[in-house]
Amino acid sequence: MENLILTLHIVACVVLVILVLLQAGKEGMGVIFGGGSQSVFGSGGAGGMIAKLTGIVAAIFLVTSLSYNYMTGHRGADDSAILDVKIEEKSEQSKPILLEEAAPKQPAPEEPAKQ
């Protein structure tokens, strides 16, 4: 059921983008996408039909968004989104090492005997 809703949602997304791009703007940019007066929709343009289709597809988009979120969002109390990872406790080995402790202590070099 989730796959059906997700597929319908993706199809609605693509169709909604296409319908929004086909709508004629005030500047006449819809002519580029076929929304002009010489299109298949007649001399009045495609404003009424495309606007209605956009509203219908937008409603389908909204319903599929909410229903998919509802179906996948419910988890039981024992389920967790975080993997079962044991948190390490600080031990003596994990404390920071100071520079004085890190360098091995070497005896001072002896000066060679003068002859």
- Average pLDDT on 25-38 reads 57
Q: CA angle, 52 as apex, 32 and 64 as ends, to 5°?
A: 105
* Ranges 1-5, 13-17, 83-87, 109-113: which has the least confidence: 83-87
Instruction: Judge whether 39 and 45 are in contact, CB under 8 Å.
Output: yes
Question: Which residues, in sequence order, are CB contacts of 48 under 8 Å at separation 6+?
Answer: none
107 falls within a domain: no
Going from the C-alpha of 31 to that of each of 22, 26, 50, 82, the distances in angstroms are: 8, 11, 14, 51
Domains of the chain: total:
1
Asked whether residue 64 is domain-assigned, the answer is yes
Query: Is residue 69 a part of any domain in this protein?
Result: yes
**What does DSSP assign to residue 48?**
H
- Secondary structure letter of residue 25 according to DSSP: -
Owning domain of residue 64 = 2-22+42-73
**Predicted model pTM:** 0.49
